[in-house]
Amino acid sequence: KAIEQQDREIAAAPNNQGAATVKMPERLLGNTGVKVPIFGLGGAGQTPLSQPGREAEAVAQIERAIELGIRYFDTAAEYGPSEENLGKVLPKYRSRLFLATKTSARDRDGAWKDLERSLKRLKTDRLDLWQLHHVSFQTELDQIFSTKGAIKAIEEAKQQKIIRFSGITGHHEPAIIAAGLQRYPFDTTLISLNAAEKHHPRSFVTSALPVAQAKNIGVIAMKIPAYGKLFQNGVLDGMHQAMGYTLSLPGVHCCVIAADSVKQLEENFKVAQAFKPLNKTEMAALEKRTAAAWQENTFFRQWT
């Protein structure tokens, strides 16, 4: 069905109060040439999407995201019931969506198994983006790029048109992500980028982002609110500042944020709708506010 027809049906839906009369800003996702809205739904975290036994809440959240005009959905083979939950709602809207999942397998055969299972769970025959999940160490890069490495699955799946684009993700070590981007022409990278991360001695903002930017690789940001911690103790005032900062970093194209509730999803959507790039003075002011609090707001950097 034509996307315009789907739009009309969504707009006319009876439960569609407060829907996307104002569209979110959209940007080209680097070299992919695909335009995506600046805010996509995260499928992980301690949220209904990825926690067992919360299917009704998950479905309600995904349906609301569709109503709002969210088109970017991020999930992973490792996120519990997340892929299955998305598969309950998204197939009807598949043609308009940008669907991204991940594999944490580092070998070709394991990655293929993950891909086949992801497609089944998501009830689709293709992905817009398939990513190598949480790549943290040199040993992982070496496995990925070995003769029987996961990169082979990426190349085969791309050739068979099962995936449109490939990416590499991580929040542990920017030098590893940068090395991955130097080593292989990934289409995208999903990395942790927030105003506290900027002060980390090995910062994704200063070490991985410029490499992606120089190659015009699509950059999807995560950890925007540092799981909400950035809003505690008055470090930042709210999501307008958190999203404002990350989405104003040169080279960042969009972000994914998970939501605990429909209410939180709606709040974040409104912030994305109203987004205006911050100027240098505003960026510096936010960096000043996170300067003393960078450590507790980059706790996720220890995860591998």
Ligand X SMILES: NC(=O)C1=CN([C@@H]2O[C@H](COP(=O)(O)OP(=O)(O)OC[C@H]3O[C@@H](n4cnc5c(N)ncnc54)[C@H](O)[C@@H]3O)[C@@H](O)[C@H]2O)C=CC1
Judged by the rule CB under 6 A, the positions of this chain that interact with ligand X are 42-45, 47, 74, 102, 133-134, 169-171, 190, 222-228, 231, 239, 256-260, 264, 267-268
Q: Give whichever of 118 and 169 is closer to ligand X, judged by the CB atom.
A: 169
Site for ligand 4PL in 5-64 (CB under 6 A): 44-45
Nearer to ligand 4PL, 108 or 133 (CB): 133
Smallest separation, CB 256 to ligand 4PL (Å):
10
108 binds ligand 4PL (CB under 6 A): no
For the bound state, the minimum distance from the C-beta of residue 150 to ligand X, rounded and expressed in Å, comes to: 14
Measured distance CA(17)–CA(137) in Å, rounded: 47
Closest to ligand 4PL by CB, 45 or 110: 45
Tokens found for residue 70: 């969210």
In the list ligand X, ligand 4PL, none, the entry touching 74 (Cβ below 5 to 8 angstroms by class) is ligand X
Nearer to ligand X, 6 or 184 (CB): 184
Q: How far is the CB of 120 from ligand X (least distance, A)?
A: 19
Give residue 291's Cα distance to chain centre: 25
135 binds ligand 4PL (CB under 6 A): no
The interface partner of residue 170, options being ligand X, ligand 4PL, none and the CB cut-off 5 to 8 Å by kind, is: ligand X
- Considering only residues 69 to 88 of the shown chain, the ones binding ligand 4PL according to CB under 6 A are 76
Closest contact distance (angstroms) between CB of 50 and ligand X is: 7
Of positions 108, 134, 199, 229, contacts ligand 4PL by CB under 6 A: 134
Question: Is the Cβ–Cβ distance between 40 and 255 less than 8 Å?
Answer: yes
Residue nearest to ligand X (CB): 42
The three-state DSSP-derived secondary structure of the chain is: CCHHHHHHHHHHCCCCCCCCCCCCCEEECHHHCCEEECEEEECCCCCCCCCCCCHHHHHHHHHHHHHHCCCEEECCCCCCCHHHHHHHHHHHHHHHCEEEEEECCCEHHHHHHHHHHHHHHHCCCCEEEEEECCCCCHHHHHHHCCCCEHHHHHHHHHHCCCEEEEEEEECCCHHHHHHHHHHCCCCEEEEECCCCHHHCCCCHHHHCHHHHHHCCCEEEEECCCHHHHHHHHHCCCCHHHHHHHHHCCCCCCEEEECCCCHHHHHHHHHHHHCCCCCCHHHHHHHHHHHHHHCCCCCHHHHCC
Residue 256's binding partner, choosing from ligand X, ligand 4PL, none, with beta-carbon cut-off 5 to 8 A by kind?
ligand X
CB of 42 vs ligand X, minimal distance in Å: 2
Residue 227: which of ligand 4PL, ligand X, none does it interact with, CB under 5 to 8 A by kind? Answer: ligand X
Which residues of the shown chain bind ligand 4PL in the complex (CB under 6 A)? Answer: 44-45, 76, 133-134, 303
